[in-house]
Structure 1
Amino acid sequence: MAARTKKVTVGIDPDSHVPGWAAAELAPTTPVAPDPTSAAFFDIDNTMMQGASIYWFARGLASRKYFTTTDLARFAWRQLRFRLSAKENATDMSEAKEAALAFVAGWKVADVQRLAEEIFDELMEPRIWAGTRALAQQHLEAGTRVWLVSAAPVEIGRVIAARLGLTGAIGTVAEIVDGAYTGRLVGDLMHGPAKAEAVVGLAGAEGLDLAHCVAYSDSANDMPMLTAVGRAVAVNPDSVLLREARQRGWEVRDFRTGRKAVKIAVPSTAAAGIVAGAVTAGLAARRRRLSK
């Protein structure tokens, strides 16, 4: 059977009811008995990539003098605190949402796209787990669509998907007016139950059968998404997800090594929000310095 190549416009589909929907060009594939109703959904942070994508984006901004290395060290410490405590509550999530709102306000979409592409090539691509990327490639070669699903801004997810030749990305969406971000979110943070709802919505829009789909994640926070599909795989799992996976008989893939694989907890979505908040604080301080 001849390889199939499908071109899809990169961007947020204005007619889609799926929050955070953004498509990338589909990579050419040679399907082997493809199932058009199946898809694979991959979390990004610590599943597809080592660490939090928003953190590496922040590192790239720091290297470009958008804020200081002191700001970066401050929110890196906060992220570590959340790694160790693995706690999320309503207050954390509210702070994360407010941080996301403040972070993008006034930015031009084209500038974020350019920076995300540059920073992916510099800092993110070397941290893509080779094993997870291989799993995604296997799905593509079997004619299965592959989507990233992350609490990270959909623009970052879209860049990662495009660079890896995946189908597209679902992520947190910021409102855009006249080519710039307003500082308001479209919907809520793509976290926990919101991920499952988005996957279900995408399945309806794309004609997928969730029983034929598979999801990959490192975090127990993604249990709603993992249980919404027919097959779940724990990748580099935190302790809670590892326990759940063993109880449910799910496949476990761990691409970390040694004691590190057992003891390091994953950063929570709230931690990513704290990162965004620290970036926001750094950008605000930079604006104040420039205005003097």
Structure 2
Amino acid sequence: MPSRKGRTTVRFGRAGRSREAAARAELAGEASAEAAYQAEHAEAEDSDPTPLRLTPGADLTAAAFFDVDNTMMQGASVFHFARGLAARKFFTTGDLVRFAFRQVKFRVSGEDLDDASDAREEALSFVAGRSVAQIVSLGEEIYDELMADKIYPGTLELARRHLDAGQRVWLVTATPVELAQIIGRRLGLTGALGTVAENEDGVYTGRLVGELLHGKAKAAAVRALAAREGLDLRRCTAYSDSVNDVPMLSVVGTAVAVNPDGQLRDVARRRHWQIHDYRSGRKAAKIGVPSVLGAGAVGGMIAAGFAVRRKMR
């Protein structure tokens, strides 16, 4: 039987890991919000000298936030990106399978700090040394090839209703921010919050800023962007398919479950949240298992999708 001292050490260790995870989530959220804010306002300045906040009809304090994987898009966006990279011989199909298997193991066994660190290091070993411009160029091509026809029309219509009401709309996803911004632009949305990888002079260093934008990090990103944009979160709406996004759904005034997994459906019913399902019965059955990977495949699929490995070192 462990001593009292031993139990105290374990308890403090868990508390320390929890604090570290919370700090990484906050850092990831801040970095993502800053990237989204800078991209939005830089684009506004390039396209129209009129300040964004003076746009006629704009509702300045309300906005909408949409998860991507299995909410806005069928399947995992970064997995589609990975398929495109594999087709271009950036890595092998075996690599893709290995990343997916590692992520399933990570999800099932829990978010152990050491395992999470290993997963991050493996993910970013692929992107290190590659240019941001190259990733963006590839993302544009692969969106057209493999993602454009995966968008759920019903979810996109929800987003457009917010735009028609003068509200801004952001995607919120663990997908790399560069890819998330491409998807947002192609859909005519305001912008995107995504996982931020550090770069120096336009070249990726192989380090994440904080953490993957997942779970509590998404909530942190939404709060941080709201502070920058002057949004009233009580007037904002969030949409997701996954129970992992309950933290994000809980920080806004209106939460909506879209194509929900079983756990989120239960939460939505208990909390009287709206529920929309745009899948056919057949698609819903197919997506049921990938949803465990989908919004949850964030870490490993960032490895497969965001990262590209040199075939020759």
TM-score past 0.5 threshold = yes
More helix by share: 2
The partner residue of 2:144 within 92, 112, 121 is 121
8 A Cα contact 2:100 2:300, kept in partner: no
* Superposed displacement of residue 173, structure 1: 0.5
SS in 2 for 1:49: coil
Quote the Cα distance in structure 2 between the aligned partners of 1:116 and 1:283: 16
Quote the Cα distance in structure 1 between the aligned partners of 2:279 and 2:305: 28
* Superposed displacement of residue 63, structure 1: 0.9
Correspondence list, 1:150-229, <5 A: 150-229=173-252
Q: Which amino acid aligns with 1:271?
A: A
Once the two structures are superposed, residues 89-113 of structure 1 have per-residue CA deviations (whole angstroms, 9 ceiling, x without a partner) of: 2255434422332232111011011
Quote the Cα distance in structure 2 between the aligned partners of 1:116 and 1:97: 21
Shift in CA distance, 281/161, structure 1 to aligned 2, threshold 3 Å: closer
Q: Is 2:278 the counterpart of 1:255? A: yes
Q: Is 2:72 the counterpart of 1:60? A: no
8 A Cα contact 2:127 2:309, kept in partner: no
My pick for the range that moved more, 99-108 or 31-40, is: 31-40
8 A Cα contact 2:261 2:288, kept in partner: yes
Q: Counterpart of 1:233? A: 256
SS in 2 for 1:189: coil
Quote the Cα distance in structure 1 between the aligned partners of 2:267 and 2:242: 10
Quote the Cα distance in structure 1 between the aligned partners of 2:308 and 2:183: 25
Once the two structures are superposed, residues 62-121 of structure 1 have per-residue CA deviations (whole angstroms, 9 ceiling, x without a partner) of: 111112233334445666x579x7664225543442233223211101101100111111
My pick for the range that moved more, 241-250 or 60-69, is: 60-69
Quote the Cα distance in structure 1 between the aligned partners of 2:155 and 2:105: 24
Q: Counterpart of 1:72? A: 96
Quote the Cα distance in structure 2 between the aligned partners of 1:244 and 1:56: 29
8 A Cα contact 2:63 2:237, kept in partner: yes
SS in 2 for 1:18: helix
Q: Which amino acid aligns with 1:40?
A: A
* Superposed displacement of residue 270, structure 1: 5.1
TM-score (norm 2): 0.77
Q: Which amino acid aligns with 1:89?
A: E
Percent identity, please. Answer: 55
Higher gyration radius (CA): 2
Q: Which amino acid aligns with 1:175?
A: E
The partner residue of 1:43 within 43, 52, 67 is 67
SS in 2 for 1:182: strand
Q: Which amino acid aligns with 2:218?
A: K
Quote the Cα distance in structure 1 between the aligned partners of 2:269 and 2:282: 19
Q: Counterpart of 1:89? A: 111
Shift in CA distance, 282/181, structure 1 to aligned 2, threshold 3 Å: closer
Once the two structures are superposed, residues 215-248 of structure 1 have per-residue CA deviations (whole angstroms, 9 ceiling, x without a partner) of: 0011111111100000000011111100000011
* Superposed displacement of residue 280, structure 1: 8.7
Shift in CA distance, 67/87, structure 1 to aligned 2, threshold 3 Å: same
TM-score (norm 1): 0.82
* Superposed displacement of residue 171, structure 1: 0.9
* Superposed displacement of residue 51, structure 1: 1.0
Q: Is 2:291 the counterpart of 1:287? A: no
8 A Cα contact 1:212 1:230, kept in partner: yes
Shift in CA distance, 87/148, structure 1 to aligned 2, threshold 3 Å: farther
8 A Cα contact 1:93 1:270, kept in partner: no
Q: Which amino acid aligns with 1:114?
A: S
Q: Counterpart of 1:5? A: none
The partner residue of 2:299 within 273, 276, 280 is 273
SS in 2 for 1:169: strand
SS in 1 for 2:30: coil
* Superposed displacement of residue 256, structure 1: 1.0
Q: Which amino acid aligns with 2:284?
A: A
What are structure 1's unaligned runs of at least 5 residues? 1-16
8 A Cα contact 1:42 1:216, kept in partner: yes
Count of residue pairs the alignment pairs up: 267
8 A Cα contact 2:170 2:184, kept in partner: yes
Q: Considering only aligned residues, what root-mean-square deviation do their CA atoms show, in Å?
A: 2.8
